[in-house]
Amino acid sequence: MEARNFVAAREMVAGGSWLIPTMNGELRLAKPPVPTWAVAGLQKVVGPTENLALLRLPAALAATLLVLFFWGLVRELTRHQSGDADDPGRTAWLGALVLASSLLVITTGREGQWDIFAVSLMVGALWLMVKGWQHVGHASWAWLAAAGVVGGLSLLSKGPVALYTVFFPFLLIYFVGYPKHRQQVRRRIAGTVLGAGLLLMIGCSWPLYIYQHVAPAAIMVARTEISSWGERHVKPVWFYAPFAAFTGIWALVALSSLVWPYARPRVQRYIPYLLALGWALLALLLLSLVPEKKERYMLPLMPPLALLVAGMLRFWEEAVATKQATRSDQWVLRAWGVILLVVCLAVPVFMLIIHLPGTKGPRLWAALVVFGLLGVYVLRQVVRLPRPTALTGASLTGMAALLVLLLPFYPLWERRRDNAGLRQMRDIRRHVALQRIPWYSLDTLHVKQVWAAGRAVPIWHLPATAISAPTTQGRLSEPVAVFSAAPLIPRLPLVWRRAGYSITQADSFYLGGKKESGYWYVGILARNAQNTH
């Protein structure tokens, strides 16, 4: 998905259409364009680049906005909770910290794909909408209109996906479980209609434009996308069952907050528990009903889980401070501490036994010091009654240290079993004879290879019964590079040979870091010199 986004953005910047995107020279209509616009806009500012760190900045910004939007939403939802009066805004800040340090948010926020944009903007729309409904005065119109604009941009990021997995579950529980919320909406019905109208108008603008200009292709893509929901990446209905684990360091707290008899009487002073739990479970149900499933599709579950965790943390802080923590509270806190202690011990050992460049020396010593001190600190908490604030601080510190020490080695870890010295697509770019001629592929080239090529490599099916080429007047006016998944010479039709054309193999490359990943041929197709008159 990231490669598709970057290839489409590269072609926009190179002179392609910003409203009708292309990918490898072909229409790219399967996904709306906001994430691609963001990457292309960045390249307009910094210039064409293949620096992945730069190209991922828009996704990182979207993840940051997700945390800020969520903070605002939780602030509105907890403003009138009785427990929030003791320390106004603390629940919102805890929720934002939990969401920002959740494993799935971190992993999706560092990849330039569509999900983080759609979910972030839809959470922003929820915040603005709730603020507009709860706001007293004429300014509520502005908040609700802004909610429609941001929600419309979410639709332009990944279609109705976030509407289905974020917006509808939240609003259904928000209205059904709380009569006072329905009364607020009735008082703001005109502004609500305005916001809904803007959301639909902005969200539908690009699909309508595409339908007006390339209707046949748009209809074909829509049918393919709908059918893929039930045919590609099909997983069982229970695939998302371990969703709490994707909060990472907060997994045990998240599980505790999902247990109704335990959590509800404890956290309802601090958060609207029915809303948070219903939002999470209804979103989980809607996600599970779709046959196509992927781990990153669980991103909409992270905001309600972060809200539940924040409520749990607030209760434990108060219970321990006032010495009202029950035996079950103490056991859960100690189990959380033990998990943190295991992580502190495991990270230096892991760095010691793996054999990757850079994991030894100063970085290993830094890990030993940081996680050693952190482990001693957590051990002291486990021995006595753990303080929730101490465990929260240790969790955040541990996650930050993991990101600094281990995240840079993730690409090396993925390639740890690769065969050394295999020729790759990036090596083909340096082939002198291929640099100044057009490139075409006789088979469908994976989009990662197109990105590595640094240029479009459009597919070209050599016609078997006539001489027809994607050049001037259907004839090859110059040599072209051809890429093929099979040996080149047999791919040249007889009619081409009789016309004096030939293919000479110029290079070859592997599709991945292992020989088993596949092998492609690169040749030069040209007309023989004696037949060019």
The helix-helix angle for 273-289 and 260-267 (nearest 10°) equals 140
Residue partners of 65: CB distance under 8 A and separation at least 6: 120, 121, 124
Kindly give the residue spans of alpha helices, DSSP state H, lying in 101-139: 103-109, 115-134
Report pLDDT for 531.
55
Confidence at 120, pLDDT banded by 50, 70, 90: very high
Quote the CA–CA distance of 356 and 253 in Å, as a whole number.
33
Out of 48-62, 367-381, 400-414, pick the least confident: 400-414
Report pLDDT for 200.
96
Residue partners of 522: CB distance under 8 A and separation at least 6: 428, 431, 434, 481, 482, 483, 484, 505, 506, 507, 508, 509
Q: What percent of the chain has a predicted confidence (pLDDT) above 90? A: 61
DSSP, collapsed to helix, strand or coil, labels residue 90 as helix
Q: What is the residue-wise DSSP string for 49-81?
A: ---HHHHTHHHHHHHHHHHHHHHHHHHHHHTT-
Question: 252-310 pLDDT, tens per residue?
Answer: 999 999 999 999 999 999 999 999 999 999 999 999 998 888 999 999 999 999 999 99
Question: 295-338 pLDDT, tens per residue?
Answer: 999 999 999 999 999 999 999 999 999 989 899 999 999 999 99
Indicate the Cα dihedral angle 447, 452, 453, 454, nearest 10°. 100
Q: In the structure, how many helices (H) and strands (E) does the chain have?
A: 24, 6
Over residues 426-455, mean pLDDT: 91
Q: What separation in angstroms does the CA of 207 have from each of 22, 152, 284, 290? A: 15, 12, 28, 23
279's tokens: 């939002």
Kindly give the residue spans of alpha helices, DSSP state H, lying in 354-387: 362-383
Kindly give the residue spans of alpha helices, DSSP state H, lying in 135-178: 140-158, 161-162, 168-176
Report pLDDT for 533.
45
Q: Is 212 exposed, middle or buried (0-12, 13-18, 19+ CB in 10 A)?
A: exposed
Average pLDDT, the chain: 90
pLDDT at residue 104 tops 90: yes
Report pLDDT for 477.
72
Question: 492-511 pLDDT, tens per residue?
Answer: 888 888 888 889 999 999 99
Report pLDDT for 469.
74
Q: What is the DSSP letter of 429?
A: T
Over residues 150-171, mean pLDDT: 95
Q: Are 321 and 304 in contact (CB under 8 A)?
A: no
pLDDT at residue 415 tops 80: no
Q: Which residues of 130-156 are buried (b: 16+ CB within 10 A; e: fewer)?
A: bbbbbbeeeebbbbbbbbbbbbbbbbb
Report pLDDT for 164.
95
> What ranges do the domains of the chain cover?
1-314, 326-415, 427-527
Please identify which residue in the block is written with the tokens 């979410």. 154
pLDDT at residue 356 tops 80: no
pLDDT at residue 362 tops 90: no
How long a stretch of residues is the chain? 533
Angle ∠(447,450,456) on CA atoms, nearest 5: 120
Residue partners of 25: CB distance under 8 A and separation at least 6: 11, 456, 458
